[in-house]
Every structure is written in structure tokens, then in C-alpha cells.
Amino acid sequence: MMNQIPLTEMKWRRYDGRKITDPISEAVRKTILREREQGHRLKVCIGTDSQVRGKVTEFATVIVFLREKKGGFMFIANYKTEQKMSIRERMILEVARSVEIAYELCNLLDEHKVELEVHADINTDPHFKSNTALKEAMGYILGMGFVFKAKPDAFASSACADKVC
């Protein structure tokens, strides 16, 4: 597996491009408090997607905040690597990054009673290449104690992260 960018070095931003300067856990804490103050009930979904462009693989990890019946918004981190990898390795790497972020935030989310889901951009249909990593990804996410969602229910990775990758 490739060397990942340490969480502390990931550069987070909002969808409109504004940089998030706080450590991600602090930014999430402030967001939860602000949203609660405004009367919103939140759920957080974390997902990662990647695109191969020539020799470069670009990744996007998102933290999606869903307001019950009131839409949502997301925080985004993009990063790249030139390391060559198989589709299975890439899928597992996406899941590993999402789990890493979920693990960093889970105590904070539990403390504030915010539901958490980890989304994997992996197809449940065996006719798709990404399916080769389904069992491992599911085992990894569930084994860490997180709620697991795969396509077509994994919108954080397959729609949100895909859009910003």
C-alpha cells in the first residue's frame, strides 16, 4: 500500500473553496455546535473516491453533514499520488482513508449523538471491477464498528467525493 498523507497534513476546504484552517476534528466540533444551535439534527457520512488520470491517481475524501429534512453540506480534502496500484488496492485505500477519518471523529460524534456512516465507492454487482474489494471493505468498516454503505447507497463516496475528485 502507498504511504498516505498524514491526517494532520490533509488540507480541508468547503465546497465553495473556503479553506478550513482548524484541525478537522475541531472544525467538525464547531460545525456540530453551530448546527445544533440552529435547531438542526445531523448525520455524518464519510466517503472517498479516486480517479486515475494518466500516471496520477487523485483522491477526494468528504465529510458530508446531512441536516434532517434540510439538505446538507460537506468538507473536502483532495490529494494525489503517482504510485501505481490495482483497482482492488485503490478501493481498499479509499476505504482506509474514510475509516481513518471516521475513527478520528467517532468519539466526538458519539459525544454529540450524531449518527455516522462510512460509504465505500464499491459496487455490489459482481459485474463491476470495484466489486473485487467488496468483502474486504465491508469487513474492514464493520470490523471497526462503523455503519457500512456500498453502491447504490454510498452517496458520500459515489456522488459527493466523485464530484470533487
Q: Is residue 124 part of a domain?
A: yes
**In this model, does residue 9 exceed pLDDT 60?**
yes
Q: What is the pLDDT of residues 21-55, one digit of tens each?
A: 999 999 999 999 999 999 999 999 999 999 999 99
Strands 115-123, 147-151: parallel, antiparallel or unpaired by DSSP?
Answer: parallel
Q: Is residue 3 part of a domain?
A: no
- The predicted pLDDT at position 1 comes to 43
Angular region, 158: left φ>0, alpha ψ -120 to 50, beta rest: alpha
Q: Is residue 69 part of a domain?
A: yes
Q: Quick check: helix, strand or coil at residue 84?
A: coil
- The predicted pLDDT at position 131 comes to 81
Q: What is the pLDDT of residues 48-76, one digit of tens each?
A: 999 999 999 999 999 999 999 999 999 99
Q: Is residue 84 part of a domain?
A: yes
Q: Quick check: helix, strand or coil at residue 151?
A: strand
Beta strands in the chain (DSSP E): 12-14, 19-20, 42-53, 56-67, 72-81, 115-123, 147-151
List phi, psi (to 5°) of 23.
-55, 150
Single pTM value for the model: 0.91
Which structural domain range is residue 66 located in?
9-164
**Cell digits of residue 152:** 447504490
Q: Is residue 119 part of a domain?
A: yes
Q: Is residue 1 part of a domain?
A: no
How many structural domains comprise the chain?
1
**In this model, does residue 109 exceed pLDDT 80?**
yes
Percentage of residues in the chain with pLDDT exceeding 90?
A: 76
Q: Is residue 99 part of a domain?
A: yes
Q: Is residue 4 part of a domain?
A: no
